[in-house]
Amino acid sequence: MTPEKVATAKIVIFSHYATTGACEELRDWLVAGRAREVVYVAFPFGRDLRRPICVERYRGGERVSEHRSRFRWKLPEPFAYAKDFLYAFGYAVRFGRRAEVLVAGDNLLAAAALAARGLAGVRRVVYYMIDFTPVRFANRLLNGCYGMLDRFAATRADAVWPLTPQIIQGRFKAGRLDERRVNWYTVPYGSHPLTESGTAACDRRQVVYLGDVVRNKGAELFVPMVQALKRSMPDVRLTVIGGGKDLEALRAEVRAAGLEAQVDVCGFVERIEDALTRLAGAGVAIAPYYPHDANSFTFFADPGKIKLYLGCGLPVVLTDVPPIARELVREGAGRIARYDAEDFAREVAAVLTGETYAQMRGHARRLGVSYAWPEVFKAAFDRLT
């Protein structure tokens, strides 16, 4: 679809929401581009009863209506998924009538859209494939049903958009999908690049982390990493942005180590603008993904925080877990460390004190610009026939 075709189309988005993700970025891009009509349908994730199903309708960049479901069902997990399928089918018929494209953010919603497309008159259904793990559910029956639903959605959709090639190739290698029956191409997670002036000023003593504060996701490395860094960089500082179940434990560990002046544990920052300001002023970002869980989503994923780092022009030190790790090294925008505090300290120091630091920031910014959301979505719709 050409940009002109997208601007004159009705496009529907189905998303299971927990936090802002790729589907919400697509909504915002379409609304900002003043598409003729955008319908965004957000389903609470799993058994989350805090929020209803929400339908937002936009025309020409303006929100014209909002609908919220009245009933919230407290159901066991399998029945909650069945409920979502039935609701998604009904919402596709009700709100997706004569849509040019319906983009669904997971296989359940894509399958419901495919089942309803005849009644609704939806021309194209896209399955936006955002994750993969070898074993999805501990329950074998539920895992088998998930696989069947995934095959139906992937083979019947007009296009499948995996965030990374590894997300769909993992399915091919496991024998869960026949590659000959799937029309797919990568639509990666994007970035919001700051202007060049916004990434110019930085503090080469400042290390930053953005994400959940959880042990076995890096939190246990922060204090010993700073202690090791202080031996070569006495004035180094670490800022930790994010909430999580081990947030208070980390604060207690910082106090016990006497590092209150070197480690700023911010907690959750509500405004993304405030988080970006803290990121942009740092010298390097870290992403210590845990490498010892073979069933982790991260081995296949395209982590959003890496794109946030790149959008701020930040070099990244990370473990060799997500597929983008090797790209960062290849493009001169990052370094790989083991899941070890001392090794992270060595790699962080090598970035901050290295003679190629300015070039690394330039490479990081260039990658961030190349992954800008408008470019990602324009390329995706260009290939949608």
| Spatial contact of 24 and 373, defined as CB atoms under 8 Å apart | no
* Mean pLDDT, residues 12-33 taken together: 90
Q: Summarize pLDDT for 239-281 with one digit per residue, the tens.
A: 999 999 999 999 999 999 999 999 999 998 888 888 888 898 9
- pLDDT at position 181 is 95
Q: Are strands 62-68 and 101-104 parallel, antiparallel or unpaired?
A: unpaired
Query: Strand pairing partners for 372?
Result: 191
* CA Rg value for the chain: 22
Question: Which tokens is 146 given?
Answer: 């998930």
Mean pLDDT of the chain: 92
Dihedral, CA atoms, 74, 77, 83, 84, nearest 10 degrees?
110
Ordered by where they begin, the domains of the chain are: 3-187 (3.40.50.2000), 197-370 (3.40.50.2000)
Whose tokens are 């190349």? That residue is: 370
Q: Quick one: DSSP state of residue 71?
A: -
Q: What is the pLDDT of residue 199?
A: 60
Split at pLDDT 50, 70, 90, the class of 198 is low
**CB atoms inside a 10 Å sphere around CB 231:** 10
- Which pLDDT score, from 0 to 100, does residue 296 have? 87
pTM: 0.91
pLDDT, tens only, 280-335: 899 999 999 999 998 888 999 999 999 999 999 999 999 999 999 999 999 999 99
User: 14-28, 100-114, 306-320: lowest mean pLDDT where?
Assistant: 14-28
Q: Strands 263-267 and 206-210: what pairing?
A: unpaired
Nearest to 10 by CA among 140, 136, 101: 101
Whether the pLDDT of residue 25 is over 60: the answer is: yes
pLDDT at 48 over 70: no
